Structure 1
Amino acid sequence: MPLFAANLTMMFTEKPFMERFAAAAAAGFREVEYLFPYDHSAEAIAAALEVNGLRQALFNCPPGDWEAGERGLACLPGREAEFEASLDTALAYAEIIGVPRLHLMAGLGSAADPEQRATYLRSVARAAERLDAAGLQLVLEPINPIDMPGYFLNDFDLAAAIIAEVGAPNVALQFDFYHCQRIHGDLCRRFGEMAAITGHVQIAGVPGRHEPDVGEIRYDTVFALLDRLDYRGAVGCEYRPAGETEAGLGWFHPWRAPVRA
């Protein structure tokens, strides 16, 4: 049975961020994820997780200047010192919050550029080394060029090749079915081929990125596939509710955990 993680960057946005933990728990989620925790103290987030009986599934390493349009540092030559500092920050938060994996954003660039590809490989290897020392998994996520034009890691086969080339046992794929459908399609076959290197899964409806029961993906088939392939990780609900979050959770009711007393 899939174990779902509410994405608090996109869900329960009717409430301030720190109140979304309680809202997710009340809705029956037992895991959460979000893009970035860095606007809040790690101690406050750890406390919110504990009081609400939640586990942290994932968050992202710092991406550079997000407001200025940066989407990661890993492929950018000349930004190595900032990249190293971003790992310092991510690992400090991870230690306090408690999380089994971190997502490393690649940045805007092109894998066809030899210097950028070499920089990315070095960055992934360095991040893998540092996360391994902390007992953490590193995940890499291909992002589709419609939602994020110019993103370096925009192909699932490229991601698999990078993981193989780096060769670190704690580097895995973040398999987002929404992004895969928008890039490639043929989801079940592709996930079947990549399940062995997958460390985290995410879902959303296509094309609107709304609830997973709306759009062109049959998630009942996907969830059955996850069970059949014995996927044991969390399934991140990285979608934007079409209306109020709780009004769109009918799809989730069969899997929701009992509300804590």
Structure 2
Amino acid sequence: MPRFAANLGRLFTDRPLVERFGAAAAAGFEGVELQFPYDLPAEEARAEIDRHGLTMLGLNTRQTPEGGLAAVPGRERDFSVLFGHALDYASTIGARAIHCMAGVVPQLQHAAADKTLVENLKRAADRADPWNINLYVEAISHRERPGYFLRRVEQAADILAQVDRPNVRLQFDFYHAQIEGGDVINRFEKHLPRIAHVQIAGVPTRAEPDEGELNYPAIFEAIDRLGYRGWVGCEYTPRGRTEDGLGWGRAYGLGA
């Protein structure tokens, strides 16, 4: 059975971030992931994680106007600084991974962006290795972030092959993968050796995974059958109060 983690950037947002850890635990989540937690002191986040016995998964590099800097040519030093902040925060709270956001890059710069992303990830992977922290890359759909450099899972997998570091892995988001190509179970199976983390949301609404184009019970059965043993991050935007929308997860131990 899949292990579900609450994305605290999207769930329980009627509360301050410091209170969302307890809310997630009370709703049955045993793991959490963060997006941009940097306004909350890392020591406070760590205290909440420990207090509620949660497994801390990953966080993103800081948000920027470009939607990240890892692939933006000419911004290598800025990315290094952002990554340093993320690494300090992640190591303090016991996070297992950092999603290195690629950013928006004009089409004419894509060749340069490819090389920039590969080299930035190599350097960042070497910095993260002593902390046993993985780096994630993720394909994000044009609908969510127009102009984002990494749009398709296949492109992200090609980047990983070029980086060739064991601690640089793929974050497979079924929501984005459906929008950018569909055929999500077959594509998940193809790229499974590189996948370290999964995220879900309903398509096209990005609400709870109980509506729209994707049959999530079938997806959960498939990823179990295929041998995926990682976490499934619930990165959706609830239609209302988070707790009221957890009916989809009751079969998996979520909700009251």
TM-score tier, shorter chain, comes to: over 0.9
SS in 2 for 1:190: helix
Secondary structure at the counterpart of residue 138 of structure 1? strand
Q: Deviations over 1:132-154 (max 9, x none)?
A: 22211111000000110000011
- The letter for the 2-side match of 1:12 is F
Structure 1 CA distance for aligned equivalents of residues 255 and 246 of structure 2: 15
Corresponding residue number in structure 2 for 1:81: 77
- Look up the match of 1:46: 46
Q: CA RMSD in A?
A: 1.5
Is it true that 1:215 corresponds to 2:212 in the alignment?
yes
Residues 1:25 and 2:35 are matched in the alignment: no
Question: In structure 1, what is the equivalent of residue 130 of structure 2?
Answer: 133
| 2:221 alignment partner AA | A
Is residue 61 from structure 1 mapped to residue 61 from structure 2 by the alignment? yes
Q: Letter of the aligned partner of 1:5 in structure 2?
A: A
Pick from 144, 157, 179 the counterpart of residue 160 of structure 1: 157
TM-score, scaled relative to structure 2: 0.96
Displacement of 1:219 = 0.5
Distance verdict in 2 for CA 1:122–1:167, change over 3 Å: same
Query: Gaps (5+ residues) in structure 1?
Result: none
Q: Does 1:114 align with 2:86?
A: no
Cα deviation, 1:162-195, whole Å, max 9, x if unaligned, reads: 1011111111110000000000100111001011
Structure 1 CA distance for aligned equivalents of residues 179 and 173 of structure 2: 10
Q: Scaled by the length of structure 1, what TM-score is found?
A: 0.94
Q: Which runs of 5+ in 2 are unaligned?
A: none
Post-superposition, which runs of at least 4 consecutive aligned residues in structure 1 deviate over 4 A?
none
Q: What is the distance in 2 between the residues matched to 1:161 and 1:116?
A: 13
Q: Which residue pairs with 2:195 in the alignment?
A: 198
Q: Deviations over 1:11-37 (max 9, x none)?
A: 111111111111111000000112111
Corresponding position of 2:66: 70
Q: Render the CA deviation track for 1:86-132: whole Å, top value 9, x for unaligned.
A: 12111111111001111100011157632222111111111111112
Deviations 1:40-61 (A, max 9, x none): 1000000011111111111112
